[in-house]
Each structure stands twice: as structure tokens, then as C-alpha cells.
């Protein structure tokens, strides 16, 4: 019984933001905290709601987000996040108040609320109910710092940029150039500033958790901490701490795994634009022929909606899959973590979403970076210039250039050297989460902080 000599297990309420690149790390963080002895409740919106079946030990609760089909079809991503934060506050207040009441009579009182930085409505609700809260940032420390530069430029009247593709160095944040600044390409710029302003506001939260680690961003994490009045815990790569089942919003095509089994060591280039980025029809044709002409085996994710104005493979050149034959596979959605861990995969053409980057370096896979927007541009710059584990494909997509960049990564000495550096980073990342490592130490401190809330 509670309070009779043994430690009570407390419940954590984790609030998700409704995007694949946010749901994955939040569920991974939940799995980690569950392994540390906490009960878990996941609160999510109806829009892009995760499938709870892979997590029977968690309690999933959805809140009415008030988004209509028309909103989802017509609003840009920034506007969706702003609307959700307006509309979710009241339903979350009711949901959390009910939970608190239920828990009063039980053994698993709520210790705190951990919320995705994009679900910032959560903090006021937690505070109203006298619960501590913690922010979870699913992107990297350098993006956060670069956003501060953008805000400063805006204040000084240097924003919007005269030339968004400018190669000019950002003196406040080397090695970024102005073109690498993490600017959203969605909706009016005022909405972008409103969103990053709200998301970066710590409010009265007690701590901030980042899915990053010292071996990648040590000095930037330290810099963030200097300017922040609450503790920052960099505990990544979270997906490597404990195994967490898939939580894909789209069905994973697992048939590609047996195809990978038939390919030679490090021979396959895996290509994926993540869950949000999209390209135009001309670019997809150049990519298709660049991949085919490279003669390198490839596994390519062409997600529904990832080609403007098309629903998928129909936009590939006629007869493409027949011409490519056994040499290539095109899927709608891949089991990405497993794909990257397969020893046939020797390179990753990526949009440089932060989860994709962590998953790639955790397996020692070097990259071809083709970022689209936001933090992807920062990550791509760090991949090519700082960690030197990939090539940045910056110019207009053209099949000859694509063929040559794939060769450089997959067949040349330059690529071997990047693969070696990626393997070194893999080892360093493993050390970070091992006992005595920086992420492991931060995780212990985080757990200690949460337990200190329990009094």
C-alpha cells in the first residue's frame, strides 16, 4: 500500500505535438521514463493521433483539438500549431483536472507534466492544477541558438533577409550562413515569430529536456544553459536508451527488409524526405534518374503527398521501377530505424530532420543532405562542415550532379572517410548514454528532479 515503507510509483503526463518527428521522440522519452519506474499517460490531439497498440503499458488520452478537415487541408503547419494551442487549452484543462481527481484516490499520483515545446498550452494548465511542468524540445540546441539570432536580426530591422539564399556568414553563429537560418517556409512571417516566441518561452516550467548530446553539441548546450534559469538536460540519442516500438502514423512497408538482406554490405543508399518535406515533379524526375544512373542499389521513400500535387509513385517516370528492377525499391513509408541499422545501408539521402540525423549517426551511416526548411538547414550545415559526416547537396537538383554526389558518398575515398567519422560518432553517442556518460548523467538528474516534485 502507498506510504507504507515502499516508494510509490508516480505518473507522468506527456503531451504530444501531432507530427511524426515529435510523436516518435516523445514516445521514446516515455519508454525511457517508464523504465525508470514511472506510470505513463500520453495526451494527444485527434489530429495525427498515434496508434496506442504498440504501447499497452501506457495510458493514451485524446483531447478534442477542434481542427476541422477543412482546417487541416487549408492551413499551413505554423497556423495549425497556433490554432491547436488556442483550441486545446480548455479540453486539456478538463482532461488533466479529471486525471488529478481520479489519481487522488489511487497509488499513482501525477508527479509532473512533460510537454512538447509546440504544445505550450500545457504549461498554464499544469500550473492551474499546481503541477510542475517540463518542456521537451525535439530539435537541437544549435537551432534554438540560431532562432535567437533571427529574433535579434528582426529586432534590428535586418529581417526578412534581402536574399534568403545569401551565402553571407552569420557572424553570431558560425558556421551558419544566412541561407542556413532555421526559417519556416510556412505561412506569414508574423506567425513564425509568434510561434517561435511562444515555444521558446520557458514560462514557469521547471526544466528543459533536449534530444541531443554533448558529443554533438556540447558547447551549444553549455551556451544555452548559461542563458537559461532552469536546468537543461541533454539526454539523447533517446531512441537508443531503451527499445521503443514503432509509432508510425503511416503503415510501414517491412518487405523492404528482405530486399535489404539480399544487398551487399554498405552498398545501399536509403532516401527519405521525412514526414513533412515535399518536392516538385521536376525534382523527383531528376532524383529518379540520378539514382538509377548511379548504379547504386537504393531504397527510396516516396511518401503520399511528398510530391507537390501527386499522391505518390505515379509521379515517377513511366516504367521507372521496371527499368530499375532489383536494383531499387520504392516504398510509401519505411521502418526507418531498422533500415538504418541494416548493414547493407551505407548512406542516407536525408532532409536532415533531427530524428533522422540522430538515427543515422547512431548507426554510423553518413549522409547526403537535402534540407527543405527550418532546423533541417542548420543540421545539414553541421553535418557537412562541423561533424563532417555528409555532403550538402545545395544546387538545383540535376541528375548528373545527383549521380556524382551518390558516387562520392558510396564509392569514393571521401565517402569512406565520412563513414569512418560517422562510426566514430556512433561510438561517442553510445558512450553518452552508457553509465558515466553525459546523457546518462543528465537523465539521472532529470529523474532526480521529477522525484523531488513528489513531496
**Which residues would be at the binding site for ligand UDP (CB under 6 A)?**
19-21, 24, 248, 272, 274-277, 301, 333-334, 336-337, 353-356, 359
Beta carbon of residue 333, minimum distance to ligand UDP (angstroms, whole number): 4
Q: Which is nearer to ligand UDP, 178 or 275 (CB)?
A: 275
Q: Which is nearer to ligand UDP, 96 or 196 (CB)?
A: 196
Instruction: Quickly tell me which residue has 539521402 as its cell.
Output: 349
Q: Which is nearer to ligand UDP, 22 or 419 (CB)?
A: 22
Q: Which is nearer to ligand UDP, 131 or 422 (CB)?
A: 422
Q: Which is nearer to ligand UDP, 99 or 352 (CB)?
A: 352
Beta carbon of residue 248, minimum distance to ligand UDP (angstroms, whole number): 5
Region label for 6, one of left (φ > 0), alpha (ψ between -120 and 50) or beta (otherwise): beta
Q: By three-state DSSP, how is residue 105 classified?
A: coil
φ and ψ of 368, to 5 deg: -110, 120
Q: Which is nearer to ligand UDP, 95 or 119 (CB)?
A: 119
Are 231 and 255 in contact by the 8 Å Cβ rule? The answer is no
DSSP annotation of 313: G
For CA atoms 399, 405, 406, 407, the dihedral sign is positive
Q: Which is nearer to ligand UDP, 263 or 355 (CB)?
A: 355
φ and ψ of 363, to 5 deg: -110, 5
Q: Looking at 88-120, list the stretches that DSSP marks H as alpha helix, in order from N- to C-terminal side.
A: 89-104
Beta carbon of residue 257, minimum distance to ligand UDP (angstroms, whole number): 13
Beta carbon of residue 267, minimum distance to ligand UDP (angstroms, whole number): 20
Q: Which is nearer to ligand UDP, 99 or 361 (CB)?
A: 361
Are 195 and 76 in contact by the 8 Å Cβ rule? The answer is no
Beta carbon of residue 301, minimum distance to ligand UDP (angstroms, whole number): 4
Residue 29 to residue 208: CA distance in whole angstroms: 13
Residue 431 to residue 406: CA distance in whole angstroms: 30
Beta carbon of residue 11, minimum distance to ligand UDP (angstroms, whole number): 26
Are 264 and 374 in contact by the 8 Å Cβ rule? The answer is no
Residue 217 to residue 383: CA distance in whole angstroms: 12
Beta carbon of residue 7, minimum distance to ligand UDP (angstroms, whole number): 33
Q: Which is nearer to ligand UDP, 221 or 276 (CB)?
A: 276
Identify the bridge partners of residue 331 per DSSP, sorted by sequence position: 301
Beta carbon of residue 355, minimum distance to ligand UDP (angstroms, whole number): 3
Closest to 91 measured CA to CA, from 58, 27, 45: 45
Buried b (16+ CB within 10 A) or exposed e, 308-322: eebeebebbeeebee
What torsion do the CA atoms of 162, 166, 169, 170 make, to the nearest 10 degrees?
A: 50
Other CB atoms within 10 Å distance of the CB of residue 365: 27
For CA atoms 183, 384, 338, 41, the dihedral sign is negative
Q: Which is nearer to ligand UDP, 32 or 334 (CB)?
A: 334
Beta carbon of residue 330, minimum distance to ligand UDP (angstroms, whole number): 11
Beta carbon of residue 81, minimum distance to ligand UDP (angstroms, whole number): 13
Amino acid at each position: 500500500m502507498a506510504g507504507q515503507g515502499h516508494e510509490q510509483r508516480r505518473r507522468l503526463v506527456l503531451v504530444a505535438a501531432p507530427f511524426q518527428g515529435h510523436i516518435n521522440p516523445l514516445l521514446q522519452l516515455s519508454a525511457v521514463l517508464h523504465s525508470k519506474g514511472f506510470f505513463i499517460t500520453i495526451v494527444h490531439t485527434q489530429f495525427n493521433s498515434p496508434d496506442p497498440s504498440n504501447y499497452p503499458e501506457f495510458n493514451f488520452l485524446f483531447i478534442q483539438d477542434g481542427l476541422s478537415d477543412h482546417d487541416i487541408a487549408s492551413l499551413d503547419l505554423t497556423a495549425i500549431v497556433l490554432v491547436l494551442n488556442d483550441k486545446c487549452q480548455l479540453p486539456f484543462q478538463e482532461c488533466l483536472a479529471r486525471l488529478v481527481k481520479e489519481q487522488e484516490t489511487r497509488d499513482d499520483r501525477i508527479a509532473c507534466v512533460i510537454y512538447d515545446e509546440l504544445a505550450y498550452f500545457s504549461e498554464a494548465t499544469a500550473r492551474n492544477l499546481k503541477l510542475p511542468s517540463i518542456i521537451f524540445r525535439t530539435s537541437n540546441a544549435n537551432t534554438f541558438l540560431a532562432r535567437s539570432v533571427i529574433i535579434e536580426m528582426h529586432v534590428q530591422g535586418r529581417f526578412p533577409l534581402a536574399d534568403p539564399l545569401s551565402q553571407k556568414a552569420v557572424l553570431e553563429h558560425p558556421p551558419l550562413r544566412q541561407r542556413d537560418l532555421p526559417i519556416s517556409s510556412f505561412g506569414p512571417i508574423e506567425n513564425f515569430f509568434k510561434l517561435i516566441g511562444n515555444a521558446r518561452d520557458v514560462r514557469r516550467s521547471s526544466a528543459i529536456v533536449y534530444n541531443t548530446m554533448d558529443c554533438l553539441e556540447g558547447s551549444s548546450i553549455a551556451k544555452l544553459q548559461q542563458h537559461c534559469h532552469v536546468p537543461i538536460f541533454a539526454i539523447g540519442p533517446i531512441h537508443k536508451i531503451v527499445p521503443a516500438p514503432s509509432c508510425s502514423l503511416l503503415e510501414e512497408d517491412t518487405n523492404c527488409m528482405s530486399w535489404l538482406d539480399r544487398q551487399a554490405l554498405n552498398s545501399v543508399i536509403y532516401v527519405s524526405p521525412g514526414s513533412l518535406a515535399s518536392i516538385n515533379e521536376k525534382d523527383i524526375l531528376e532524383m529518379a534518374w540520378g539514382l538509377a544512373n548511379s548504379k547504386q542499389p537504393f531504397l527510396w521513400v516516396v511518401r503520399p503527398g511528398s510530391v507537390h500535387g501527386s499522391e505518390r509513385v505515379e509521379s515517377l517516370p513511366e516504367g521507372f521501377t521496371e527499368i530499375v528492377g532489383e536494383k531499387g525499391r520504392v516504398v510509401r513509408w519505411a521502418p526507418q530505424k531498422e533500415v538504418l541499422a541494416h548493414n547493407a545501408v551505407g548512406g542516407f539521402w536525408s532532409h536532415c530532420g533531427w530524428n533522422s540525423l540522430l538515427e543515422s549517426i547512431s548507426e554510423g551511416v553518413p549522409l547526403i543532405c537535402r534540407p527543405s526548411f527550418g532546423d533541417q538547414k542548420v543540421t545539414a550545415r553541421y553535418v557537412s562542415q562541423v561533424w563532417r559526416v555528409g555532403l550538402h547537396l545545395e544546387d538545383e537538383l540535376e541528375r548528373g550532379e545527383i549521380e556524382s554526389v551518390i558516387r562520392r558518398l558510396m564509392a569514393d575515398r571521401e565517402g569512406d572517410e565520412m563513414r569512418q567519422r560517422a562510426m566514430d560518432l556512433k561510438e561517442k553517442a553510445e558512450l553518452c548514454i552508457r553509465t558515466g556518460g553525459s546523457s546518462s548523467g543528465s537523465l539521472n538528474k532529470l529523474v532526480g528532479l521529477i522525484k523531488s516534485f513528489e513531496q
